[in-house]
Amino acid sequence: MKQRVVKAICLSFVIVFMLAATGAFADDETVNLESLVIQTFDEPDSQPWFLIGSKFASEGYPKLAYAKSWPVALFGTTGGDKDLRSLGVAMLFDRKEYNWVDVIPGTKSGSGAEATYAPVELPLPGRVKMLDMWIWSGNFDYYIEAYIRDYTGIVHVLPMGDLGHVGWKNFRVNIPSNVPQSKKYLPKRENLTLVKFRIWTRPTEVVASPTKADAPIEQKAVYFYFDQLKVLTDTFESLFDGDSLMDPKVIEETWGSSESSK
């Protein structure tokens, strides 16, 4: 009888320990997955992007524009009577090589030829599981990468895939589990940021569209279009007694002024 009592008590301790451990790591488990749009590219003035090309870029290239086009698979043929846009990238190089074009989110100052841009990384909410975007291609054997930064400052390069397809195609890339998005200390969750996209050419592929020698330069450029940048992310966060003390507004009100030291 005593042995049974001892075994029952031991089993109770094991169950309590397992429940406690589960609670301690609950925030690291997916609980509430959401698909959130980061950029629609429908509002050029409020969502400025800019381009940087590698050294063999032709004069005047790369170029950026917002085209009145969208994936029919998402919005149908009419676009739902909305003013939909996609981000267009025009590339042209003087020689074959591992050329590249960076597509960078930022802020814009001035207009026309006097416009200047500064990079601004896009916050990715929650604990991101997947990056998702639609890309239009003209079947060129190029490829694309996404650059994301974790809270420690390290930039991770994520291969998104080959661009040798025709028309619109949905691209998805998983965020590796070794990319940190939380830490031991409060606040635990640490968001990633999107630094840029990079489109690479391959040295075996053409760097200009085959056309007549006297064709306008616009017909020689290689074009890609981006639309509907999204993330699949876990937005769940456990509540605890005193969680409001980690609110940035509360911290600023409590500690951000000289009054807090009096």
- Range in 13-17, 78-82, 119-123, 203-207 with the lowest mean pLDDT: 13-17
Q: Which fold has domain 37-228?
A: Jelly Rolls (2.60.120)
pLDDT tens digits for range 22-76? 444 444 555 788 999 999 999 988 889 999 999 999 999 999 999 999 999 999 9
The pLDDT value given to residue 58: 96
Residue type, 191: N
% residues pLDDT > 70 (the chain): 81
Two tokens, residue 31: 């609980």
Residue 120 above 90 pLDDT?
Answer: yes
Domain residue ranges of the chain, discontinuous segments joined by + = 37-228
What global pTM score does this model have?
0.81
Q: How far is CA 258 from the centre of its chain?
A: 38
The arithmetic mean of pLDDT across residues 147-164, rounded, is 97
